Amino acid sequence: MNQRNIQVFHDTMARLLHRGAQKNLSNIIEKSHFADLAQVLRMMDNVRDQRAIFHLAAVEKKAQILGELEKQQALNLLEEMPYDDIVKIFQHMSSKDVTDIIGSLPDDVSKELLKLMEPKGSQVVEELLKYPQDSAGGIMSTEFCALDRQTTVAQTIHKFQSEGDLDNIFYVYVINQVGQLVGVLSLRKLLQVKPETKIEDIMISDVIRVKADTDQEEVAKMVQSYNLLALPVVDESNKLIGIITVDDIVDVIRDEAQEDLLKMGGVGDVEISEKSSFKSARSRLPWLFISLIGGLIVFKLMVLFKTVISESVALVFFIPLIMGMTGNVATQASTIVVSGLASGKLGMQKMGWIVWKELKVGLIFGLIYGVMVGVFANLQLGVSFNHVGLMVGGALGASIVLGSVMGTLLPFVFERTRIDPAFSTGPFVITVVDIFGVAVYLYVAHLMYAAS
């Protein structure tokens, strides 16, 4: 459904719920797509209403809805449910989704749920819980098709026909006797050869794979680079332990993009759905503190150059302009670099080229806006007013060039020190270049006064 239809659907569900029309609601839920139901639940602010809708769905649809929702929303829906009912829902979910939920529950609750699960399912979940959530092992699924290299095409097709629980199967993975990954072939290739052909004769031996400890962002880049529908995950001994499908990668890309946007805005890891004012404030407080420190340093700079300022109070009028222009140029440069680093279009080997390019861009901006502001200052204050136009124009041009270079360099510095480059944009880069911009401005004014 589009957004308008979803809104109508939400209003209808809410109206029926408040009227107590349980039978009508059950009929609608049964006929509705689980993704639309998940969207309606996201739009509801009242957790009790969300649970009332959720409990009317069939067990299998409940599992599908939980797979669509964010982790915290899924936990809210399951919070008051009996453990036996939760386990029944888990039976219809992928091992990855079950692991995400159980890994977020208190230890005593997760242990109790694992006890109630079937031994095979609980063993898989416990194994997946060992991996970090942002690693290949943390996002992989253990439902995949892996066959011995001696298997024929006819036997492979028969396996697909006899096992109905093989969802999201895009490739057949070929393993040896000890479970090591030795090849892969697509389903299309499987249907193009004779039934008696052994799969080792038609497989691709050079398999693109990742280890379980690979960062999920790196996994997403590999899937994008090679246009894969699924990526096999292996352990240290090259044994196939899981796969990552393109559906999982879409979730990773969305989550990483949201995380980078939050970092670039200086709001930490807080989300729009966070209802606690204290948690929101705690997440954003450090970044505002950095801005506070920057403002205090600018204050000390102005005290340091108070003699120059006292000679021409008009210098103070242009400090907000210097800080604003320098910060904007630096933010533009850092955003371009962070975007390039995230997409893989830029690397450390291209640092010199991009710095040189942005330096030239900064020179162009500095010349244009330096002249414009210098002329404006002369028109407002007079040409002979202690050369303010020349000082402001020259200092603004120099500050813009400095801001452009610093905004370009900071993401590379963060990348080199293994800090997320997204932190180098927003409040951080603005604070740093504000300090240097004001310092350049006041120092240029000091030099010109000393020369005159």
Q: Per residue in 372-387, pLDDT tens?
A: 988 888 888 765 555 7
Distance CA(379)–CA(202), nearest Å, equals: 79
Whether residue 37 has pLDDT greater than 70: yes
Least confident of 193-202, 205-214, 253-262, 322-331: 253-262
Residue 235 confidence (pLDDT): 92
Paired strand residues for 198: 152
Residue 444 tokens read as: 């240029």
The stretch 205-229 carries a mean pLDDT of: 89
Neighbours of 159 (CB within 10 A): 14
**Is 103 within 8 Å of 133 (Cβ atoms)?**
yes
Residue 181 confidence (pLDDT): 94
Crossing angle (nearest 10°) for helices 59-68 and 71-78: 150
Residue 227 confidence (pLDDT): 87
The stretch 242-257 carries a mean pLDDT of: 83
Band the pLDDT of 452: cuts 50, 70, 90: low
Cα first-last separation, the chain:
71
Residue 434 tokens read as: 């504000």
CATH classification for the domain delimited by 279-451, as one of 3.40.50.150, 3.40.50.2300, 1.10.357.20, 1.10.10.10: 1.10.357.20
Domain boundaries, the chain: 3-130, 146-255, 279-451
Paired strand residues for 148: 175
Q: Per residue in 161-207, pLDDT tens?
A: 777 566 667 899 999 989 999 999 988 888 888 989 999 999 999 99
The reply to whether the predicted model has a pTM over 0.75 is: no
The stretch 248-266 carries a mean pLDDT of: 75
Distance CA(395)–CA(323), nearest Å, equals: 11
The stretch 32-47 carries a mean pLDDT of: 89
**All residues at 6 or more sequence positions from 391 whose CB lies less than 8 Å from its CB, including other chains:** 315, 444, 445, 448
Distance CA(422)–CA(415), nearest Å, equals: 9
Q: Per residue in 105-132, pLDDT tens?
A: 888 888 889 888 888 788 888 888 888 8
Residue 271 confidence (pLDDT): 55
CATH architecture of 3-130: Alpha Horseshoe (1.25)
Whether residue 424 has pLDDT greater than 60: yes
Based on its alpha-carbon atoms, the radius of gyration of the chain, rounded to whole angstroms, reads 30
**Residue bearing tokens 């510095």:** 413
Least confident of 209-218, 354-363, 384-393: 384-393
Residue 383 confidence (pLDDT): 57
Quick one: three-class SS letters along the chain? Answer: CCHHHHHHHHHHHHHHHHHCCHHHHHHHHHHCCHHHHHHHHHHCCCHHHHHHHHHCCCHHHHHHHHHHCCHHHHHHHHCCCCHHHHHHHHCCCCHHHHHHHHCCCCHHHHHHHHHHCCHHHHHHHHHHCCCCCCEHHHHCECCCCEEECCCEHHHHHHHHHHCCCCCCCCEEEEECCCCEEEEEEEHHHHCCCCCCCEHHHCCECCCCCEECCCEHHHHHHHHHHHCCCEEEEECCCCEEEEEEEHHHHHHHHHHHHHHHHHHHCCCCCCCCCCCCHHHHHHHHHHHHHHHHHHHHHHHHHHHHCHHHHHHCCHHHHCHHHHHHHHHHHHHHHHHHHHHHHHHCCCCHHHHHHHHHHHHHHHHHHHHHHHHHHHHHHHHHHCCCCCCHHHHHHHHHHHHHHHHHHHHHHHHHHHHHCCCCHHHHCCHHHHHHHHHHHHHHHHHHHHHHHHHC
Q: What percent of the chain has pLDDT over 70?
A: 94
**Is 234 within 8 Å of 181 (Cβ atoms)?**
yes
Q: Per residue in 261-310, pLDDT tens?
A: 776 666 655 555 555 677 777 777 887 888 899 889 999 999 998 888 88
CATH classification for the domain delimited by 146-255, as one of 3.40.47.10, 3.10.580.10, 3.40.50.720, 3.30.300.160: 3.10.580.10
**Is 414 within 8 Å of 423 (Cβ atoms)?**
yes
